[in-house]
Structure 1
Amino acid sequence: MNTRTESDAFGPVDIPAHRYWGAQTQRALDVFGAAEERFPAALTHSFGLQKRAAARANRGCGVIDPHLADAIEAAATELSDGKWDDHFPLSIWQTGSGTQTNMNANEVIANRANELLGQPLGTKSPVHPNDHVNASQSSNDSFPTVMHVSAALELTGRLRPALVSMQASLDERARAFADVVKIARTHLMDAVPTTMGRTFAAYAHQMAAAISRIDAALPQLMVLAQGGTAAGTGLNAPAQFPERFCAELAASTGLPFRTHPHKLEGMASHDALVDVSGVLNTIATSLLKLANDIRLLGSGPRCGLGELIVPDDGLTSSIMPGKRNPTIAEVLVQACFQAVGNHQTVTLAGGSGLFELNVAKPVLIYNVLQSIRVLTDACRNFDERVVKGLQVDTTQLATNVENALLSVTALNPVLGYDAVARITALALREGITPRAAALSLDLIDANQYDRIVDPARLANGE
């Protein structure tokens, strides 16, 4: 393998010649190894946005020569666009401040900037990874900033739109099923008549609430610790740098980022991200109920509830020919499990702020971003392949409504609780409809029964 040699404060390091990372990244690879758990592209792309905003702010503050700032900005833009994804080899299992990934970004951008200025990789001149790309910054404030930026962009660009689409699909199904009478179930047992439309309207409301929870959590992510440098002191950062940085980042992302009024809080603790993870945990529980209800209502086709007809996904059993399973719903269920489990990790990591620095940043943001991604992907698939194509089995529903025992609850005001209990007991014991039982007991005449125990009317609360 062809290598080049770079030097840092600890001496020379051999680096694969075609790689844009530098000495500190290579040393981290040697120290920590290459594990499977790596940061998603969303985080490295956000580092590109962060370094570009820093270069612009530093130019405006007179910290960096405009010529060098232009080169850093160009290289950082390429990073944010995904051009250098393959040059971030480090796992999340590194220093708890995320220093190694911050240096990875600094080195890739510095090498690329120097290349744009006509210099070979590894020269550190005229652009230096620490002196220029990391100017007015430290890992302690840059990594928390990137955590907020990546989470905000993923929430607004991925999960929120997926939930909006899901809500619209559920609303459409609620309207389509508005007049479809079904029997409600409480404690898993038959209850009173309702409509399938009301059931789906409840699901849609859950999605609306999920969207509102995201919107309520987002403002916390707009507050950035950038400019706090070491221990919240602002050491080596010009006084104007934080405001300039946030203005540049807001302009490039369209999100209202602003500087943290107490930057140490944004470096020593990550309560905002723990709260975001809590929102994801709640969303996961909502989606879990939705997926479980759909797969149970669609169970069968002959020996289950069979009230919903779930679209065929073309997959089947390895042993039972033609068997259809609710695979897409099962994917969503498993994604929800993952997000719920991730929240426990985030909670523990969020509580690992020791004095002036939280030292569990990598694992915290890794789990937040994974929860956003798995919930988004599973939602989109469930929406497109299941919700949009759901149909009702009207024959099965009509049979269920006709045989439902608890429709006679509507007779309570007329006959009294005890008399109605006799009707349900006889119907259940003899295997007959409650209407037949009521007439058999001579408690009410047929016309009065049909007028009072009208499932469609009862389902609409009349």
Structure 2
Amino acid sequence: MRLEHDFLGEIEIKDEVYYGVQTTRALENFVITGHRLNDDFIISFGIVKAAAAKANMKTGRMPSRIGNAIVQAAEEIIAGKLHDQFVVDCIQGGAGTSMNMNANEVIANRALEILGEKKGDYALISPNNHVNMAQSTNDVMPTAMRICTITKAKKLIAALEEMEATFTAKGDSFNHILKMGRTHLQDAVPITLGQEFYAYAQATKRAVKRVKENVRNMHFVNMGATAVGTGLNAEPEYIKYVVEELSKLTGEEIQSAIDLVDATQNTDQIAEFSSALKVTALAFCKIANDIRLMASGPRCGLGELSLPAKQPGSSIMPGKVNPVIPETVNQVAYQVMGNDLAISQAVENGQFELNVMEPVMAYNLFNSLTILTNVINTFNYKCVKDLEANEERCREMIDKSVGIVTALLPHIGYEQSSIIAKEALKTGASVRELVISKKLLTADQLEIILSPGEMTQPGIAGKQFLK
């Protein structure tokens, strides 16, 4: 054991751990979610600490021997080492101070080890004086949040772009299949299955644009703002250098926020980004519902689509297969909506120069990004890519439908069309049979009028023929 102290007193720490006294206090105080920081967030703290140490060496404030050891320790964290030493709970009081000090202590003790010194010898390298030099939790925490968001957003954008490509490919392969369109869950007029999937592709394309537009705001950080945005204890040159180093370490164009006080006080951009995720989740919830309904059956539902069978659907009903992947999309969407509400409440509850609720924002935002990315990949590769159309079933429902009578309006008029629709519903006869039997149109004319092309993309050629 080693003995460490802060201004509240002394605590014994196990020799083998890299965290210290303030992290240990946080472990005692915050047993909340049972979840620790995720790897991308830990890496983001490593990036911030490495950038700060490099910037402080450039200004001459940080001795190079100490600074290089801190950078090496931070780079090890960026490479995935020592993540088990980040032990604090994701939800905590103090605006993320425990997270920041966890990073400071781990990096300080690893840097001491690199220099051949014992852990806890903070006279040489201090978590506060050196690793946290020219910093505050109030600029470290939001900057790490933004870097982590950028990292996770890249994965989400990639998943969405792949999903868009799959929907487009399905649209191409299904575009010749005419089926009944539905409004109010009632038969409407025909549409091609391809047109429906092209529409899903467009909704996904908008989601890509939405996420890309909102992630741009995450590139503006408040490093150098320190406690309240005034930059106390941070040299102007440091503020310039630290964003340059962040850019190098992330490969992104990280910039200093226009107003550091504003960037320290206000978290509306976090709410805006979360809202983009919520809207994306809403769009996919609707798409998953459509696919689930079109695949209902197999004998007594719509049965227009066949989903790939992924697992037995019942512990009591043999042979039953459920739409488990679309159901998962729905549930993730509900969780993302709930996360967005929590973030909205947290953003609203900032006071004066700081919003202390950033830990719960980070927890919910990163959860939304992770599960949304995962479920879109799952939806794509375990469902949509392998789903098949039941062409005969689609054709059968078109033939039985009364909705196709709408296509006859320009040719036989509303009144005659209404009579045909009423008789078809009463007798069970098809619209096609009734129109031919009443000699309102010929079979050849109906073949053109009720063709997929003419029903879904009316053209001039068919209308000229009918004249």
TM-score interval, normalised by the smaller of the two chains: over 0.9
Report how far residue 441 of structure 1 moved: 4.3
| Structure 2 alignment gaps of length 5 or more | 460-467
2:347 pairs with one of 350, 372, 388: 350
Report how far residue 294 of structure 1 moved: 1.1
Report how far residue 14 of structure 1 moved: 1.3
Contact 1:75 1:109 in 2 (8 A): yes
Matching of residue 280 in structure 1 with residue 281 in structure 2: no
- 1:158-194 C-alpha deviation (Å, 9 max, x unpaired): 1111101111111111111121111111111111111
3-state DSSP of counterpart to 2:236:
coil
Matching of residue 263 in structure 1 with residue 291 in structure 2: no
Matching of residue 201 in structure 1 with residue 198 in structure 2: yes
Contact 2:5 2:21 in 1 (8 A): yes
- 1:386-430 C-alpha deviation (Å, 9 max, x unpaired): 111111011111111211211121211222212201111110111
Q: Name the structure 2 match of 1:231.
A: 228
3-state DSSP of counterpart to 1:137:
coil
- 1:285-312 C-alpha deviation (Å, 9 max, x unpaired): 1111111111111111111111111111
Report how far residue 440 of structure 1 moved: 4.2
Report how far residue 278 of structure 1 moved: 0.6
Contact 2:308 2:387 in 1 (8 A): yes
Q: Name the structure 2 match of 1:403.
A: 400
Listed as ranges, the matches of 1:205-354 within 5 Å are 205-354=202-351
How has the CA–CA distance of structure 1 residues 384 and 139 changed in structure 2, closer, same or farther, with 3 Å as cutoff?
same
How has the CA–CA distance of structure 1 residues 344 and 35 changed in structure 2, closer, same or farther, with 3 Å as cutoff?
closer
Q: Name the structure 2 match of 1:50.
A: 48
Q: Name the structure 1 match of 2:464.
A: none
Contact 1:424 1:437 in 2 (8 A): no
Q: Name the structure 2 match of 1:148.
A: 146
CA distance in 2, matches of 1:401, 1:61: 75
Report how far residue 88 of structure 1 moved: 1.6
Report how far residue 240 of structure 1 moved: 1.1
CA distance in 2, matches of 1:153, 1:21: 25
Q: Name the structure 2 match of 1:128.
A: 126
1:428 pairs with one of 425, 428, 447: 425
How has the CA–CA distance of structure 1 residues 66 and 190 changed in structure 2, closer, same or farther, with 3 Å as cutoff?
same
3-state DSSP of counterpart to 1:176:
helix
Q: Name the structure 2 match of 1:17.
A: 15
Q: Report the AA paired with residue 272 of structure 1.
A: Q
CA distance in 1, matches of 2:82, 2:143: 20
TM-score normalised according to structure 1 size: 0.96
CA root-mean-square deviation: 1.4
What number of residue pairs does the alignment pair up?
Answer: 459
Report how far residue 49 of structure 1 moved: 0.7
Q: Report the AA paired with residue 360 of structure 2.
A: V
3-state DSSP of counterpart to 1:240:
helix
Q: Report the AA paired with residue 149 of structure 2.
A: A
Q: Report the AA paired with residue 376 of structure 1.
A: T
Report how far residue 330 of structure 1 moved: 1.0
Q: Report the AA paired with residue 403 of structure 1.
A: K
How has the CA–CA distance of structure 1 residues 263 and 448 changed in structure 2, closer, same or farther, with 3 Å as cutoff?
same
Q: Report the AA paired with residue 47 of structure 1.
A: F
Percent sequence identity is: 38
CA distance in 2, matches of 1:436, 1:226: 75
